[in-house]
Chain A
Amino acid sequence: MLKQFADYVTFTLLKLQPTSHAGDALNFFIYDTLKIFLLLTTIVFVVAIIRAYFPPEKTKKILSHKMEYIGNVMAALLGIVTPFCSCSAVPLFIGFVEAGIPLGVTFSFLISSPMVNEIALIMLWGLFGWKIALIYTGTGVLLAIASGMVIGRLKMERYVQDYVWETKVGNMEIVQTSFREKIEYARDYTTDLLKKIWPYVIIGIGLGGIVHGYIPAELVVKYAGRDNPFAVLVAVLIGIPLYSNAAGMIPVVQALVGKGMAMGTVLAFMMSVTAISFPEAVILKNVLKMPLILTFFGIVTAGIIIVGYLFNAIL
Chain B
Amino acid sequence: MEIKVLGPGCANCVKLEELAKTAIKELAMDAKIEKVSDIREIMKYTMSTPGLVVNGKLKHSGKPLPGIEKLKAMIEEEV
Question: Using a CB–CB distance below 8 Å, which chain A residues touch chain B?
Answer: 55-57, 60, 83, 85, 87-88, 90-92, 94-95, 98, 163, 167-170, 172-173, 175, 185, 188-189, 191-192, 286
Contacts of B8 in A (CB 8 A): 87, 90
- Write the chain B residue with the least CB distance to A169: B43
Contacts of B63 in A (CB 8 A): 83, 85, 189, 192
Residues from chain A with Cβ under 8 Å of B44 in the complex = 168-170
The majority secondary structure among interface residues of chain A is helix
Known: A94-B39, A167-B40. A88 touches B45 (CB 8 A): no
Q: Is A91 within 8 A of B49, CB to CB?
A: yes
Q: A88-B47, A172-B46 are in contact. Are A188 and B10 (CB under 8 A)?
A: no
A282 to B12, CA, bound (A): 19
Assign chain B's interface to a size class. 20 to 34
**0/1 per residue, B51-79, Cβ < 8 Å to A?**
00000001111111101000000000000
Chain B nearest CB, measured from A165 CB (Å)? 12
Give chain A nearest CB distance to B13 CB in angstroms.
9
Q: B42 an interface residue at 8 Å Cβ cutoff?
A: yes
Instruction: With A90-B39, A91-B39, A94-B39 as known contacts, state yes or no: A185 contacts B64, CB within 8 Å.
Output: yes
Known: A55-B48, A87-B8. A192 touches B43 (CB 8 A): no
A167 touches B48 (CB 8 A): no
Question: Taking beta carbons and an 8 Å cutoff, which residues of B are in contact with A?
Answer: 8, 10, 12, 39-40, 42-49, 58-65, 67
B40 partner residues in chain A, CB cutoff 8 A: 163, 167-168
Asked if residues B49 and A94 are in contact (CB atoms below 8 Å), the reply is no
Of B45, B47, B67, which one neighbours A56 at CB under 8 angstroms? B47
Identity of the chain A residue whose Cβ is nearest the Cβ of B42 in the assembled complex: A91
Residues of A within 8 A of B47 (CB): 56-57, 60, 88, 91-92, 94-95, 172
Identify A170's interface contact among B45, B48, B60, B64, CB under 8 A.
B45
Shortest CB distance A169–B (Å): 5
- In the bound assembly, the distance between CA atoms of A26 and B67 in angstroms comes to 39
Contact yes or no, B10 A87, CB < 8 A: yes
Query: Which residues of the other chain, B, contact A57 by a CB distance below 8 angstroms?
Result: 46-48
Q: Are A175 and B58 in contact (CB under 8 A)?
A: yes
Contact A91 B64 (CB under 8 A): no
Q: How far is the CB of B48 from chain A (nearest CB, A)?
A: 5
Nearest A residue to B67, CB-CB: A188
Contact call B64/A188, Cβ cutoff below 8 A: yes
* Among A57, A87, A169, A192, residue most surrounded by chain B Cβ atoms (within 10 Å): A87
How close is A182's CB to chain B, nearest CB, in angstroms? Answer: 13
Please indicate the chain A residues that have their CB under 8 angstroms from the CB of B62 in the complex. 55-56, 83, 88
Contacts of A55 in B (CB 8 A): 48, 61-62
Smallest beta-carbon distance A283→chain B, Å: 9
How many Å from the CB of B38 to the closest CB on chain A? 10
The answer for the CA separation of A172 and B6 in the assembled complex, in Å, is: 14
**A–B Cβ pairs within 8 angstroms, 10 of them:** A55-B61, A56-B62, A57-B46, A57-B48, A85-B63, A167-B40, A172-B45, A173-B58, A188-B64, A189-B63
Chain A residue numbers with a CB within 8 Å of B64 are 185, 188-189, 191-192
* Residue in chain B with minimal CB distance to A95: B47
B71 to chain A, nearest CB (A): 13
9 residue pairs, one from A and one from B, having the closest CB atoms: A170-B44, A188-B64, A95-B47, A91-B47, A192-B64, A87-B10, A56-B47, A169-B43, A92-B47
